[in-house]
Amino acid sequence: MHDAIERLKEYLLRFAPVRRAVRDRVLRSGHTDWGTLLAPDAAYWQKALCEAQDGPHVLIPTSVGSNMAATTLEGTLAAALTLRGCRVSLLLCDGVLDACMACQREWYSASFSTSRPLSRGSCRACLAPALASYQGLGLSVLRYGEFLKTKDIIRARDLARDTPLGDIASLHVNGVAVGEHALAGTLRFFARGDLNGEPGGEPVLRQFLQSALTTSAAMERLLVRERIDAAVFNHGIYVPQGIVGEALRAHGVPQVNWTATYRRQTFVFSHGDTYHRTMLTDPPSQWRNMPWTETRQRRLLDYLESRRHGTGDWIWFFDRPNFAAAEALRQLGANPALPCDGLLTSVVWDAVLHYESNAFPNMLEWIVATVHHYAEHPDRQLVIRVHPAEIRGTLPSRQRVDVELAQRHGPLPQNVILVPPEHPVSTYALLEQCRRILIYNTKMGVELSAMGKQVVVAGEAWIRGKGFSIDVDSPKSYAKALLDDAVDAPLDEARLLLARKYAYHFFFERMVELPMLRPTGGDPQFRLDIDSVRRLAPGQNANLDLVCQGIVEGTPILAAPDE
């Protein structure tokens, strides 16, 4: 334990120590002040640390210290796992990466330079506050740099520089998909779905590739030096988290990825990979055989109704949505005499990963193909609802669907109505005017199906393969589904029941409530709200017990039973 504290001091010295007054202010602004929280229970905590030394070794590779939501939840998990006998090590980046998910295009000038690392200037503000928080736990805090040799940096630089541009996305090194995550990280940086015509696109991609390769090298040496029994960390995609996950899988280390979800104080925990993928393959046995009771149906329908206003959520996009959908459509030029079908977009850049089941190469090509189809069938009307998160999300998109559609298709036919992201009309009210719903990968397919809507899935939406949606895997099968009049009818009773069981599973079992994490209404999204670390001990919260058990034992991480 003494060695761990000395290493932490070394890190702070290396990165220009933050004066105590400044550091305390940083902690109060977002990161958990573990030192103060643990002080009244010092003997209790020291005993837990000692008893955990021979327990399962759990790695928490937070990596990006400026992600205060991550340091909050992962610090909480570190404490909770320690109290359950686990030896926990945390991992932070110490400035060795040229680019990472902490970098965003909007932070740079219009003519930003790619001749130096994107991360330069932000690493100190990233590392020091996270260390100031984590050091109060008295746990081992590892850093990327201690696992790297000069030859690793040179190799990463040379490979990132010399790999042909067209080969980067598919590049694998030692079984790790470094190229896919480098591309996803670059697209997130630019908040775009592609790099076409993007100034600096290629050099930024090469910086992300170099960082992905550097991460891979660091993780390879870490996993050789340290015997890791399990890992838990945020998201599981982009750079560096996606590479961390790839390395853990390559070494057979069980991992759990988490993300904050819509419902207030809830999180999804996924075994083995990012939830973007695991939600497609969760065992049907988790929900198909669920006893369906009136209580569960009422709870689900009440929550779905609350989604219209966001009253039960901590993630929403309009404070005062307009529910006069028919009037909004009339003003946008819709023909009230024609039946409406609804198309829901997603944010173009978000989680651009490879999926075998997609009917189209990407969402934009799907949208263009759909518009072409309706142009050839003027007896039908298509309403395209562009996702409000394009302008209201945490990272506003720099590639708007309406602009892309105008460039790729030109003027829209009269029977295609586009509702822009800034339009205040309620998406729920809008879709009530539609017979069928067309989606690519939006999560909203879950609730729309539970409301009885027929949903056609052309991408990797989580309802694919669950038995109640119309799933297509090629342009031909998609066109056939669009012409199928049977799709215009509401879901039959059997499929509606399946849809509601899955929605209940999704919103009330997969979303695990952790009430000790209180919403802030700002950044970070939540803070730890306990008066003693004893509140994180076994038996204090059933959901936290299940989360920790799932991390260590690999059991499904579902919310505690409600009935």
Contact 321, 424 (CB under 8 A): yes
Structure tokens at 87: 């030896």
Q: What is the pLDDT of residues 131-168, one digit of tens each?
A: 999 999 999 999 999 999 999 999 999 999 999 999 99
Judge whether residue 13 has pLDDT over 50.
no
Distance between CA 9 and CA 204 in Å, rounded?
33
Output the pLDDT for position 389.
87
Instruction: Determine contact, residues 228/250, Cβ cutoff 8 Å.
Output: no
DSSP string computed for 139-196: -EEEEGGGG--HHHHHHHHHHHHHS-GGGSTT--BTTB-HHHHHHHHHHHHHTSS--T
255 phi and psi angles, rounded to 5 deg: -135, 155
Stretch(es) of the chain classified as CATH 3.40.50.2000: 290-507
Residue written as token pair 């799932």: 550
Which H, E and C letters describe 327-361, residue by residue?
HHHHHCCCCCCCCEEEEECCCCCCCCCCCCCCCCC
Q: Tell me the two tokens of residue 338.
A: 């024609």
For residue 19, is pLDDT > 60?
Answer: no
Each residue's pLDDT tens digit, 501-530: 999 999 999 999 999 999 998 888 899 999
Q: Which CATH architecture has domain 290-507?
A: 3-Layer(aba) Sandwich (3.40)
Contact 208, 239 (CB under 8 A): yes
Is the pLDDT at 348 greater than 90, yes or no?
A: no
pLDDT one-digit tens code per residue, 111-133: 677 888 888 877 878 999 999 99
424 contacts 325 by C-beta, under 8 angstroms: no
Q: Residue 142 has what pLDDT? A: 97
Q: What is the DSSP letter of 489?
A: S
Nearest Cα neighbor of 545 from 554, 553, 537, 534 is 537
CB atoms within 10 A of CB 128: 21
Signed CA dihedral, 185, 191, 193, 196: sign only: negative
What is the dihedral sign for C-alpha 121, 155, 225, 273? Answer: positive
Tokens read off for 337: 């005499």
Q: How confident is the model at residue 29 (pLDDT cuts 50, 70, 90)?
A: low
Band of the pLDDT at 170, cuts 50, 70, 90?
very high
| Four-CA torsion 130, 136, 137, 139, nearest 10 degrees | 80
Query: Which 8-state DSSP code applies to residue 509?
Result: I
Q: How far is CA 553 from CA 58, 237, 243, 250, 505, in A?
A: 11, 23, 23, 19, 22
Helix, strand, coil content of the chain in percent (nearest 5): 45, 15, 40
Tell me the mean pLDDT in the region 280-291. Answer: 92
Give the pLDDT confidence score for residue 349 in this predicted structure: 82
In terms of residues, how long is the chain?
Answer: 563
**pLDDT at 354 (0 to 100):** 58
pLDDT tens track for 408-446: 998 999 999 999 999 999 999 999 999 999 999 999 999
The pLDDT assigned to 12 comes to 38
pLDDT tens digits for range 208-230: 999 999 999 999 999 999 999 99
Give alpha helix (H) positions in 399-455: 401-409, 427-432, 445-450
pTM for this model (two decimals):
0.91
pLDDT tens-digit readout, 349-368? 886 665 666 899 999 999 99
Interatomic CA distance for residues 559 and 554, integer angstroms? 15
